[in-house]
Chain A
Amino acid sequence: MLKVEEQTPVVFSSELLAKFDDVKSRYPEDKSKSALLPLLHLVQAEYLWVSTSAMDKVAEYLNIQPIEVYEVATFYSMYFLKPQGKYALEVCRTGPCCLVGAEKILNHLENKLGVKEGEVTADGLFSFRGVECLAACGFGPVLQISPEYTFYENLTEASVDKLIEDLKNKS
C-alpha cells in the first residue's frame, strides 16, 4: 500500500536525468508518458526503492499528474514502495519451481537470514520475498537479486548459503 506522506525531497543527478532523456527519445513527442515504467526502474536502480517524493519528481519530469505515477507504481509488482535490503532476493514460488523444491528454499532463507518475508536484516544487507513465475521453470528453483536482477538457477540450500556468504564478503 502506498502512503503519500512528506518525505525527504529527492534531487535527481544529471547522470540520471541524461538516462531519462535517452529513454524519452524512444517515443513520439506527445507520448512521453510511455517512459514511465522504464523511468521508475531507473529510479529504483539508483535508490533501491521508489519513494513518493521520487515519484513526484518523475511526474514533474514527464509533465503528468503524480497520481498517474502512483497508480502505475502500485499496480506492478517490481516497484518497491518501501526500502529493501541492499540485496533484495526474490525467489520464484509458482507451480513448476515448487515441484522441484522452491518452498524449501524460501523456508531456508527465512531461517538463514532470521527475518520474515518482506523484512530487512539488521545490517541492512538482505531482504527476501516470494514472487510469481520468473520464466525459468526448467532450471528451478530460481531466484533473482535486484537492482541488477542477476539470476541464480537450480538452487539448493547449500548454494543459497554460499550465495549469501559471497554477498556478505562483497560488501
Chain B
Amino acid sequence: MSRKLLLEHINVPGINTLEVYRQKGGYRAVEKALKTLTPEEIVEEVKKSGLRGRGGAGFPTGMKWSFLAKPEGVARYLVCNADESEPGTFKDRYLMTYIPHALIEGMIVSSFALGAKVSYIYVRGEMMPQIRILEKAIAEAKAAGWLGKNILGTGYDLELYVQPGGGAYICGEETALLESLEGKRGNPRIKPPFPAIAGLYGCPTVVNNVESIAAVVPIINDGGDEYAKIGIGRSTGTKLISASGNLVKPGVYEIELGLPVEEFIYSDEYCGGIANGKRLKATVAGGSSVPILPANLTLKYANGEPRLMSYESLSEGGFATGTMMGSGGFIAFDEDQCIVRNTWNFARFYHHESCGQCSPCREGTGWMEKVLHKIEHGHGKMEDVDLLWDIQRKIEGNTICPLGDAAAWPVASAIRHFRDEFEWHIKEPVKSQSQNYGIANYANPIEKAPVTEEK
C-alpha cells in the first residue's frame, strides 16, 4: 500500500465530524502553526515541500505564496478554488464530502501564513450538498474555537465563509473566480496585475485549489522536507487522481507521484483494469483539456520506456507523444468508444463554457463543435479535418485565459493521434452511424516515433 496523506482516514466512521477528525490527529497543524511557527516559517516549509498547485497548472504553491504583496494597512485574502468543473475531475468534491475538516484546517494554517483575516471557499454552485457540509463543519470548528476571534489565545482572528458559484466552468480560472466572488460575470481579467498584487476587491490575494490547501496540513505536521521525500523528482508528495470512464473500479485514489501508469490502470489496488474484459483504446490523463493519448503512448514513451504518473513523465515527449498531469482527471476509453464522438462532446462543452470575451475562443469553439458534429453524424468532408486543425491553431495562445488552449488541445490531439478514425467517419458516412472504428492499432507496440512535424 502506498502512503496516504489526505485520505488516510477517509473510511473512519464519522470522520466528517470535528470530534472524530480531532481523535485522528486533526487540527494538530493549526496548533503547531499558530503557536510555534511564524507566517514566514510556514511559507518556507511549503516551499521546501515542493508542493505544486493541484488544480491543474502545477505552479509551485510556496512560490505563489511568496509573491503576495504586503502593503501596510491593506487587507489580504486567501480564496480557495473549489469550483471543480474540469470534466474527468471530482477529487475536490470527494474530499469536501467525506473529510471537510481537512480543507478547513488547511485554510486556517494557510490564512495565518498569508496574513488573511477573512477567507473564502468558492464552491461551484451545483455542489449545494458540499456547501451544506462545509458550512456545518465551519460552524463546528468555530464553536470549538478554531475559527473566529483570538484563535487558541494567539491573537489571530479568522473568519471563513463559503461562497457558491452560479454554474460556470470559467470560474475555475482564478481571475474569473474573483470577478464572480465580487458578484459579476465570470470574465477572466487581463494579467498583469496578478491576484498576488491586485486580487479580490483590488487587494493582494492568493487563490489555491482545495487539494493544495489540504496538503498544507501534512506538510506542517511532518515538515516540508519529509513531504518532499515522497514522489519523484520535481513531482513531490501524493496526488488525488479522479479515475473515470470504462474502468473496473472508477473513483478517487491517492497515489504517490511516480506510480507507473500501467500499475494505476491495471492493479487491484487502483482501477483494477478495463471494465467488462475489454481492451484500453485511449486515455485523457489529466482532465478533458489535456491531450488525449492512444493506449500505447499512455503506457509507454515513444522510446518504449514506461510512463509514470508524475508532472514530468506525463508530459514526456511534449504534445507530439505526451500529455499533461493537469488536475489528475484520468479518463479511460475502452475499445468500443468513438474518439470522434468524444471530441465533439468536449468541443460542445468548451463552446458552452466560453465566456465570450475573446473572439478566437467565442467563435472558434462554436465552429469546431459544428464541424465535429457534422463529421460525427456522417456529413463530413475530407477537408474538414484540416479545417479543424486550422481553427484550433488559431485559438491556441490567442486568448486572455487558458480556456482557449483547453478547447484547442483535445481537438488537436485527437486529430494528431486518431486521424485515421476521423477519415474513416468521412469515408464511411453510413457505416460510421451504426458501427465503431474500434481499437485499430492504438494499443499495438509503437514501431517508430510518430511524426512530430505539425506547425
What residues make up the interface of A, taking CB atoms closer than 8 Å to B?
A: 26, 28, 31, 33-38, 40-41, 62, 68, 71-72, 75-79, 93-96, 98-100, 131-140, 144, 148-151
Contacts and interface: CB of A to CB of B under 8 A. Distances in A.
A95 B201 contact: no
24 contacts: A26-B163, A33-B184, A37-B163, A37-B166, A38-B163, A71-B184, A76-B165, A76-B186, A77-B168, A94-B349, A95-B288, A95-B349, A96-B88, A96-B245, A98-B345, A99-B342, A133-B349, A136-B90, A137-B331, A138-B90, A138-B251, A139-B250, A139-B251, A149-B126
A95 B250 contact: no
Contacts of B186: 75-76
Interface in B224-260: 242-246, 250-252
Interface in B22-76: 75
B166 A95 contact: no
Contacts of A148: 128
Given A37-B164, A71-B185, A138-B252, A95 B125 contact: no
Interface stretch (B12-20, B79-87, B399-407, B425-433): B79-87
A132 B244 contact: no
A73 to B, nearest CB: 8
A94 B125 CA distance: 17
B345 A94 contact: yes
B376 to A, nearest CB: 12
Contacts of B252: 138
- Which of A68, A137, A138: most chain B CB closer than 10 A? A138
Interface string B180-202: 11111110000000000000010
Interface string B93-123: 1000000000000000000000000001000
Going nearest first, the 7 A-B pairs with the smallest beta carbon separation are A76-B166, A78-B167, A149-B128, A137-B244, A36-B183, A33-B183, A138-B250
Given A75-B166, A133-B85, A98 B342 contact: yes
A135 B127 contact: yes
B88 to A, nearest CB: 5
A78 B345 contact: no
B333 A137 contact: no
Contacts of B184: 33, 68, 71-72
B136 to A, nearest CB: 15
Nearest to B332: A99
B373 to A, nearest CB: 14
Nearest to B249: A138
Contacts of A68: 183-184
Interface string B134-163: 000000000000000000000000010101
Nearest to A136: B90
B208 interface: no
A144 B164 CA distance: 16
Nearest to A39: B183
**Residue of A75, A79, A144 ringed by the most chain B CB atoms within 10 A:** A75
Given A68-B184, A72-B183, A134-B126, 19 more contacts: A28-B75, A31-B182, A34-B181, A71-B184, A76-B167, A77-B168, A94-B288, A95-B87, A96-B88, A98-B341, A98-B345, A99-B337, A131-B167, A133-B85, A135-B90, A135-B93, A137-B329, A139-B90, A150-B129
Given A94-B349, A137-B87, A138-B251, A34 B182 contact: yes
B89 interface: yes
Interface of B: 75, 84-90, 92-93, 120, 124-129, 159, 161, 163-169, 180-186, 201, 242-246, 250-252, 284, 288, 329, 331, 333, 337, 341-342, 345-346, 349, 352-353, 355
A33 B75 CA distance: 18
B452 to A, nearest CB: 27
A94 B181 CA distance: 26
A26 B258 CA distance: 42
Contact of A144 (B92, B126, B183, B346): B126
Contacts of B331: 95-96, 99, 137
A75 to B, nearest CB: 4
A77 B86 CA distance: 16
A138 B86 CA distance: 13
B142 to A, nearest CB: 13
Nearest to B75: A28
A26 B161 contact: yes
Contacts of A78: 125-126, 166-167
Contacts of B86: 133
B87 A72 contact: no
A150 to B, nearest CB: 7
A43 B84 CA distance: 24
A132 B352 contact: yes
Contacts of B242: 137-138
Contacts of B166: 37, 40-41, 72, 75-79
Nearest to A31: B201
Contacts of A37: 125, 163-166, 180, 183
Nearest to A94: B87
Contacts of A100: 245-246
Contacts of A138: 90, 242-244, 250-252
Nearest to B244: A137
Given A37-B165, A99-B245, A137 B185 contact: no
A28 B117 CA distance: 12
Contact of B89 (A71, A77, A98, A137): A137
Nearest to A142: B90
A40 to B, nearest CB: 7
A63 B180 CA distance: 18
A95 B342 contact: yes
